[in-house]
Structure 1
Amino acid sequence: MAYKTVLGTRTYLFSDLKDLLAKASPLRSGDDLAGVSARSQEERVAAQMALSELYLSEFINTELIPAEIDEVSRLILERHDKEAFGKISHLTVGGFRDYLLKESTDTRTLSDLIWGITPEMAAAVSKLMSNQDLILVAKKCNVISKFRNTLGMPGRLSVRLQPNHPTDDPRGVAASILDGLLLGSGDAVIGINPATDNVPTVIALLEMLDSIIRRASIPTQSCVLCHITTSMEVMKRKAPLDLVFQSIGGTEALNKSFGVDLSLIREAYEMASELRRGTVGENLMYFETGQGSALSAGAHHGADQQTLEVRAYAVAREFSPLLVNTVVGFIGPEYLFNGKQILRAGLEDHFCGKLLGLPMGVDICYTNHADADQDDMDTLLTLLGVAGCNYIMGVPGADDIMLSYQSTSFHDALYLRQVLGLRPAPEFESWLLSHGIFSPETGLVPKAENGFRLLEGILNGKD
């Protein structure tokens, strides 16, 4: 079905829903590279006008990617809750935006809508929203997940402690873990990207992490971000695995390029569930996504990168994850050219993920060849804190020397907690206070001398 808008004396035509969504997207280099973006700002406005008048029911009746060739499309259709959708089925995309912004549309209302909203609906409404709209609505979406602590509660901000090392040297990893814990990071997860994805290395890292967590009785979880098949193998070898990690995307073809499909993810999920390693909950999956991955894999089916990113969230929510994060600027300037595009994409991804019921975090990051700097990241960091982001990354010095990109630091997390009055996950906060790393008198200011005495013994193998 074609769509059109008349602006003055000019008529703009959009060949189908996929074309309309792409043309309505805010400017980004990845859509230009794919040849699907609007040719001018006027055409973009025309597309947004046409999109605003489209009824949400159109997304139920129109397949962006045919279900017969794409299992993600089939999943979206199978999981759509028609009863929940009935509450908003009479709305246009523009009307849906107005509905989300109403004061009467509160956290409970949005929670009841989660399974009635398809990813394409979420992507569509985000294209009509200003940055402050995205922040306002995301703030109302509270998504709580649990494993060994409780993440996503209002007034809380958690941190993934990311102690990557270019050679997987346990001493270097341990030093970064110590640094992060002493600065109050690690409640989301202590998560390592291994330099080499092989079973012996992953087992060694998991055993080290498990030893630290057990010896210090830290209420958190660990993860080595290896391929899901490696996780399955280490589980067979009885390694102490807490969370199963996998990068995912919004099309079947993209997931195949990652070496996964829905059945494989489900198999790994069921294996990990049988371990019963959680103490306060059973959310045990960790997924990462990022705009542009489908195009880079030649698996985008002519769709815009933001819509495909949101379709990845349909895959994630199928498995009730503990953590989901968009690694927003990691792929490079070919897809998000500068700080402005990275900022917009981060707010979009966070909003859409929360609207679909996901415990969203954001890796606020950029590559060294992008037109962006740490000031841009500070701005996005602050906006996401206001928007109620569940967690961010904590990287020593904000410079990941293994993955060669720039992210956020342990000190950045302290800044955000202090300026916005946010606190760590409750169980982790109690642990910090009980060991004197934080204190009631100083609040969120670390007392390193107390923590160092405790953790020095842990890392040296002493009880």
Structure 2
Amino acid sequence: MKSGEDVFGYVQRLRGAFDDTLYKQVLGAANTFKEGDALVGVAAADENSRANARRLLGHTRLEDVRRHPLHQDALHALSLEAEDSQAATLTADWTLGRLRKFLLESDEAAIHAIGPGLGSDTIGCVVKLMSDAELIALGSKVFNPLPGSKVGARGYMGARIQPNSPTDNVDDIRWQVFDGFSYAVGDVVLGCNPVSSTPESVAAIESALLEVLVTFGLTDVLPHCVLSHIDVQAEVERRQPGTTGVWFQSIAGSDSANATFDISVEKMLAYADGRTGPYGLYFETGQGADFTNGHGHGYDMVLHESRKYGFARALSQRVARARQGAAPWVHLNDVAGFIGPEVFRTREQLVRCCLEDIAMGKLHGLTIGLDICSTLHMDVSLDDLDWCIERIMPANPAYLMSLPTKNDPMLGYLTTGFQDHVRIREQFGYKVDDRMWAFFQRLGVIDAEGKPTRHFGDPVWVYLQYLRAKGDSRPEADIRADAEQQLSAIRARGVPMARGHGTHPWDLEPALDAELRRVYVDSKKSLWTELTPAFITAVPEGVRLVSKSQDRTEYILHPETGEQLDASSLEAVRAMRARHAGRYDVQLMVSDGLNALAIMDEGQLAPYLETLRAALIAAGYQPAPEHLVLTSGRVRAGYRVGEALYAGMEDAARHRGLIHVIGERPGTGHHTFSAYITAPSGAVWSQPGKVDHNITRVVSGVALTAYAPSLAAPETVRLLQQLAPRGG
């Protein structure tokens, strides 16, 4: 490279004209290394290449970046509309190097003055030029609090209580809220991930969460949310007006990636325009979600993530307009480590990802929280998460997740527990939103000096106050006895409950800590176990298939290899299709996935398949007699099997289904499998790559200790009937 040369001069010199591919490669090379960028093909070859890319980027003008968008679609156009053109003139002739210097040397007011004019590509580029320490310095001086609260304000660090249940049991959910409140945690949102996204199930959880807030008089302070698809939340609100709180949706950085979530710019704008109440929208994002869903478009994960924030900024403005200019209650949660080692693998990369995203979110004017998390197939342990938290917290994100322990009993991944929040408050001096802190003092778990009381860490005490607020006048001893019975039942369903503490208020009670570590060890066993030859042979009418993964390590580190069948397996499926001659409309398929034990444990798969087959026949379907058994299989491998079975059939309008049973979520301790139900028309199956998650339904958390197989089977058929009534 030449002295003072910018990215565009470099590309012009090497290619003789602007070259989009080389441009994206240079931008990607400026990133700190992550495996996801390498898979996209834009990671730097070495540190020298990375340093050169950063020098080129530092000399590049913001206006030139704006004139060369990485990807043009409706989302990009909307993001441009959301930029403040007047603020943009302040920095139009700046280089990215000058912008970096300004951000590090200027105060918050000066940064807020130019922030609305910075485009998402510019913001994504400038963070590439910063060290971790510089990203912390930036994050620690820019804040975008939610209106009327201290959530997202300087010196405050909040919590989303994540009361997930492997069976959507409202007692599990309600008690986890009580548990969080007992540790003075939970000031941003009560946000539950549902197992079932049917309107009926979502409505039950919405009502349970709302009832807790109403009972404690918190509806004007704290919203609730069930993290189903936004269409489902809208349907629940239509059926039961006033029962939903803030509305959730995962968003991506391009139109094509958003289609995987079954959303569009048009749909999200319509929903934003309707959010006229006190609580608006809650988004979740995460680096790597775009390319792992097949929508990388040749550029790096940081820039994809920044574009999501541009989308969120635009939607936030629409919510403000819907509220006639009133500040919108809109926030975004960056789920930083949820996908797996194909995105990044180490604790250092997790820290880097979080710091990049905090800075980008704040520069977009967003209230941004974090899910500092790790899947069980990453090289990030329970203790590593504590190491990461300590290095990320100085950047002062708005909030973190919170559960009774670091392990989510439904999603099966590692995140932050209630007592992590207690430790963070002690270590960094961060505060809880003032209104909720006052509530925790009234509740009696925090005293007037802000110290834990004897009721701290006692969810039964919170339950007692809840019942008293509802008018229950039974003797305290009777209520406590009732509470212990409920807690025993909850633990039996595999949902841990934090009670008390260890040496310090932020230490887990020793027995619970030991149980957490036992589940962690079990998760690793679940992850690395493979289907045995004896098990495969025992599957009735089994047809053995293998993916393109050469071994378990490749399967875990390179998921795309598990999404395709090898040549001999594909031929076996085609031969079976020829034998069937169009007689059947449903195919059953079993894969090990990330949890072979979930498939092989006694009494799990066989009863499910037997009940499922009988229910399918009773409902008028014609399931094929064979069970396809795939080793090292991913969910998308099922879509490829469906294409091989159903593409090009004469009756192209007829819907044909594939039910893919796959082991998942090794960290729950339950050994759960899921059933993915896909049933488009033959015409859709005939379009290679058309079938994806957006037209698939799922029954998850199936296990003897969670969602019973005998109950999951009829639910599977019910969902199939929604997609293809009576096999039509």
Give the TM-score taking structure 2 as reference length. 0.59
Give CA-to-partner distance per residue, 1:39-70, whole Å, 9 cap, x none: 2222111111111111111122111113xxx1
Aligned to 1:304: 300
**Contact 1:182/1:448, CA 8 A, preserved across alignment:** yes
Which of 253, 258, 277 is the equivalent residue of 2:256?
Answer: 253
SS in 2 for 1:288: strand
Which of 22, 33, 49 is the equivalent residue of 1:27?
Answer: 33
Give CA-to-partner distance per residue, 1:224-282, whole Å, 9 cap, x none: 00101001101111241111100001111111111001221122233342xx3x3xxxx
SS in 1 for 2:362: helix
How far the C-alpha of 1:112 sits from its partner, in A, is 1.7
1:17 aligns with 2:23: yes
How far the C-alpha of 1:95 sits from its partner, in A, is 1.3
Aligned to 1:122: 123
**Contact 1:3/1:14, CA 8 A, preserved across alignment:** no
Using the alignment, how far apart are the partners of 2:79 and 2:204 within structure 1?
Answer: 38
Using the alignment, how far apart are the partners of 1:162 and 1:53 within structure 2?
Answer: 44
Using the alignment, how far apart are the partners of 1:113 and 1:2 within structure 2?
Answer: 24
What value does the CA root-mean-square deviation take over the aligned residues?
2.0
**Contact 1:2/1:15, CA 8 A, preserved across alignment:** no
More deviation in 255-264 or 138-147?
138-147
Instruction: Evaluate the alpha carbon distance shift between residue 81 and residue 441 of structure 1 in structure 2; reply closer, same or farther with a 3 A threshold.
Output: closer
Aligned to 1:264: 267
**Contact 1:216/1:455, CA 8 A, preserved across alignment:** no
Give the TM-score taking structure 1 as reference length. 0.91
Which of 357, 363, 374 is the equivalent residue of 1:349?
Answer: 357
Letter matched to residue 235 of structure 2 = E
Identity over the aligned pairs, expressed in percent?
A: 30
Which of 39, 58, 65 is the equivalent residue of 2:64?
Answer: 58
How far the C-alpha of 1:451 sits from its partner, in A, is 7.0
Letter matched to residue 61 of structure 2 = Y
Using the alignment, how far apart are the partners of 1:441 and 1:382 within structure 2?
Answer: 25
Aligned to 1:434: 442
- Greater RCO structure (CA 8 Å; 6+ sep): 1
**Contact 2:257/2:293, CA 8 A, preserved across alignment:** yes
Using the alignment, how far apart are the partners of 2:40 and 2:71 within structure 1?
Answer: 16
Using the alignment, how far apart are the partners of 1:16 and 1:61 within structure 2?
Answer: 16
1:229 aligns with 2:231: yes
Which of 72, 75, 78 is the equivalent residue of 2:78?
Answer: 75
Instruction: Evaluate the alpha carbon distance shift between residue 392 and residue 445 of structure 1 in structure 2; reply closer, same or farther with a 3 A threshold.
Output: farther
Q: What is the correspondence of 1:187-198 to structure 2 with a 5 Å cutoff?
A: 187-198=187-198
Instruction: Evaluate the alpha carbon distance shift between residue 233 and residue 15 of structure 1 in structure 2; reply closer, same or farther with a 3 A threshold.
Output: closer
More deviation in 122-131 or 438-447?
438-447
More deviation in 120-129 or 379-388?
379-388
How far the C-alpha of 1:156 sits from its partner, in A, is 1.1
SS in 2 for 1:141: coil
**Contact 1:249/1:255, CA 8 A, preserved across alignment:** yes
**Contact 1:142/1:153, CA 8 A, preserved across alignment:** yes
Letter matched to residue 172 of structure 1 = D
**Contact 1:152/1:359, CA 8 A, preserved across alignment:** yes
How far the C-alpha of 1:439 sits from its partner, in A, is 1.0
More deviation in 361-370 or 72-81?
72-81
Aligned to 1:413: 421
**Contact 1:119/1:313, CA 8 A, preserved across alignment:** yes
Give CA-to-partner distance per residue, 1:68-92, whole Å, 9 cap, x none: xx11211122222221122222321
More deviation in 138-147 or 311-320?
138-147
**Contact 1:399/1:405, CA 8 A, preserved across alignment:** yes
Which of 349, 369, 377 is the equivalent residue of 1:361?
Answer: 369
**Contact 1:199/1:234, CA 8 A, preserved across alignment:** yes
Aligned to 2:140: 139
**Contact 2:247/2:282, CA 8 A, preserved across alignment:** yes
**Contact 1:55/1:93, CA 8 A, preserved across alignment:** yes
SS in 2 for 1:434: helix
SS in 2 for 1:165: coil
How far the C-alpha of 1:289 sits from its partner, in A, is 0.1
Aligned to 1:152: 152
Letter matched to residue 129 of structure 1 = M
How far the C-alpha of 1:128 sits from its partner, in A, is 0.8
**Contact 1:286/1:324, CA 8 A, preserved across alignment:** yes
Aligned to 2:584: none
How far the C-alpha of 1:334 sits from its partner, in A, is 0.5
More deviation in 444-453 or 159-168?
444-453
Which of 329, 332, 353 is the equivalent residue of 1:324?
Answer: 332
Using the alignment, how far apart are the partners of 1:213 and 1:367 within structure 2?
Answer: 31
**Contact 1:4/1:14, CA 8 A, preserved across alignment:** no
Which of 101, 106, 112 is the equivalent residue of 2:104?
Answer: 101
Instruction: Evaluate the alpha carbon distance shift between residue 289 and residue 370 of structure 1 in structure 2; reply closer, same or farther with a 3 A threshold.
Output: same
Letter matched to residue 117 of structure 2 = G
More deviation in 107-116 or 202-211?
107-116
Instruction: Evaluate the alpha carbon distance shift between residue 345 and residue 445 of structure 1 in structure 2; reply closer, same or farther with a 3 A threshold.
Output: farther
Instruction: Evaluate the alpha carbon distance shift between residue 237 and residue 38 of structure 1 in structure 2; reply closer, same or farther with a 3 A threshold.
Output: same
Using the alignment, how far apart are the partners of 2:92 and 2:440 within structure 1?
Answer: 47
Aligned to 1:399: 407
**Contact 2:24/2:42, CA 8 A, preserved across alignment:** no
Aligned to 1:387: 395
Using the alignment, how far apart are the partners of 2:104 and 2:379 within structure 1?
Answer: 33
SS in 2 for 1:194: coil
How far the C-alpha of 1:452 sits from its partner, in A, is 4.1
**Contact 2:182/2:462, CA 8 A, preserved across alignment:** no
Instruction: Evaluate the alpha carbon distance shift between residue 301 and residue 450 of structure 1 in structure 2; reply closer, same or farther with a 3 A threshold.
Output: closer
Aligned to 2:310: 314
Residue-pair matches, total: 443
Using the alignment, how far apart are the partners of 1:287 and 1:449 within structure 2?
Answer: 30
Aligned to 1:10: none
Letter matched to residue 122 of structure 2 = M
Using the alignment, how far apart are the partners of 2:228 and 2:453 within structure 1?
Answer: 34
More deviation in 452-461 or 182-191?
452-461
Larger radius of gyration: 2
**Contact 2:382/2:406, CA 8 A, preserved across alignment:** no
**Contact 2:66/2:121, CA 8 A, preserved across alignment:** no
Letter matched to residue 145 of structure 2 = I
Give CA-to-partner distance per residue, 1:23-42, whole Å, 9 cap, x none: 11110000111222112222
Aligned to 1:8: none
SS in 1 for 2:274: helix
Using the alignment, how far apart are the partners of 1:160 and 1:459 within structure 2?
Answer: 23
Using the alignment, how far apart are the partners of 1:454 and 1:339 within structure 2?
Answer: 36
Question: Structure 2: which 5+ residue stretches go unaligned?
Answer: 1-6, 12-18, 317-328, 472-728
Using the alignment, how far apart are the partners of 1:405 and 1:74 within structure 2?
Answer: 36
Aligned to 1:9: none
Question: Structure 1: which 5+ residue stretches go unaligned?
Answer: 6-12
Instruction: Evaluate the alpha carbon distance shift between residue 106 and residue 2 of structure 1 in structure 2; reply closer, same or farther with a 3 A threshold.
Output: closer
